[in-house]
C-alpha cells in the first residue's frame, strides 16, 4: 500500500517547516472535521476550495511530506471499543533522567502517549505523563505497576487519573476567520 499515507515517523520531515497559503488553509478547513464519505472525496473538497482534484491531492501530499498532515486515518473511540479504563499515569522523576526514562516507558506496548510536561509545585509535582488503555481498572493498574517497576527508585511519586467521561473530541479545528 505504497499509495497510502501511513504513519511513519522515520520519514523525513522538514525542520524548517513550510508555510501554508490560503489555498492550503481552505483545504485544511474543508477536511479537518473529516473526509467526505463519497466515492471521490477529493473531488468534493476540490469543489469546496475552488481548485482541481489533482491540485487538492498534490497539495495534500506536500502537507503530508512536511508533517502538517500527520496521517489520514480512522481514529477509533477506544471507550466505545471496550477500553473503558483510560488511565493517565503521571510520575515525578528527576529532570536529569526524564528523557532516558520517558523513552523506556514510551517503548512499552500498552502506552499510547508519553510526554514530559511542566510541574506546578505544590499543586502538581509530576513531570512525566504516560497514557495507558485497558479494558478495566484492574488491568490498567497492572500496567501502571509495570511502569512503576521499570522506574524503580527514580519514581518519587505517582498518580493515575482515570477518565470518567469524554466531554469533547473533535480534533484540531482552524477557526473560520482569516480566510
Partner 1 sequence: MDELDRKIINDLQAGFPLTEQPYAEVAARHGITESELLSRLQQLLDNKTLSRFGPMYDAEKLGGAFTLAAMQVPEQDFDKVAEVVNSYAEVAHNYQRDHQFNMWYVLATETPDQINLVNRDIEKRTGLKVFSMPKLTEYYIGLQLPV
Within 116-145, the residues that bind partner 1 by CB under 8 A are: 116-118, 120, 123-124, 129, 133
SS3 for 145?
helix
Distance CA 38, CA 31 (A): 13
CA distance from start to end of the chain: 35
Are the beta carbons of 49 and 27 closer than 8 angstroms? yes
**Interface with partner 1, residue 113, by CB under 8 A:** yes
Which residue in the set 21, 122, 172, 179 belongs to the binding site for partner 1 (CB under 8 A)? Answer: 172
Residue span binding partner 1 (CB under 8 A) among the ranges 110-118, 139-147, 149-157: 110-118
**Interface with partner 1, residue 71, by CB under 8 A:** yes
Which residue in the set 102, 140, 143, 144 belongs to the binding site for partner 1 (CB under 8 A)? Answer: 102
**Interface with partner 1, residue 115, by CB under 8 A:** yes
**Interface with partner 1, residue 114, by CB under 8 A:** yes
Instruction: List binders of partner 1 among 149-168 (CB under 8 A).
Output: 159, 161-168
* Binding string, residues 9-28; x marks residues near partner 1 by CB under 8 A: x-------x-xx-------x
Grid cell locating 26: 481552505
Distance in Å, CB of 167 to partner 1, minimum: 4
Question: At which residue does the C-alpha cell 505517582 appear?
Answer: 158
Q: How many other C-beta atoms lie within 10 A of the C-beta of residue 176? A: 7
Instruction: List binders of partner 1 among 26-55 (CB under 8 A).
Output: 28, 31-35, 37-43, 53
Which residue in the set 50, 152, 153, 169 belongs to the binding site for partner 1 (CB under 8 A)? Answer: 169
Distance CA 3, CA 135 (A): 34
Q: Which helix (H) or strand (E) holds 90?
A: strand 85-91
Q: Between β-strands 85-91 and 111-116, what pairing exists: parallel, antiparallel or unpaired?
A: unpaired
Amino acid at each position: 500500500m505504497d499509495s497510502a499515507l501511513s504513519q511513519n515517523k522515520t520519514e523525513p520531515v522538514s525542520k524548517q517547516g513550510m508555510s501554508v497559503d490560503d489555498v492550503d488553509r481552505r483545504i485544511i478547513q474543508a477536511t479537518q472535521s473529516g473526509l467526505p464519505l463519497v466515492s471521490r472525496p477529493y473531488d468534493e473538497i476540490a469543489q469546496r476550495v475552488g481548485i482541481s482534484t489533482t491540485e487538492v491531492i498534490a497539495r495534500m501530499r506536500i502537507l503530508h511530506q512536511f508533517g502538517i498532515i500527520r496521517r489520514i486515518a480512522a481514529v477509533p473511540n477506544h471507550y466505545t471499543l471496550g477500553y473503558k479504563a483510560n488511565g493517565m499515569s503521571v510520575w515525578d522523576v528527576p529532570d536529569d533522567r526524564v528523557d532516558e526514562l520517558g523513552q523506556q516507558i514510551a517503548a512499552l506496548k500498552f502506552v499510547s502517549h508519553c510526554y514530559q510536561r511542566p510541574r506546578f509545585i505544590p499543586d502538581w509535582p509530576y513531570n512525566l505523563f504516560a497514557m495507558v488503555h485497558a479494558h478495566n481498572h484492574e488491568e490498567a493498574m497492572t500496567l501502571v505497576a509495570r511502569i512503576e517497576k521499570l522506574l524503580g527508585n527514580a519514581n518519587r511519586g505517582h498518580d493515575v487519573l482515570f477518565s470518567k467521561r469524554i466531554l469533547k473530541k473533535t480534533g484540531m479545528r482552524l477557526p473560520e476567520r482569516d480566510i
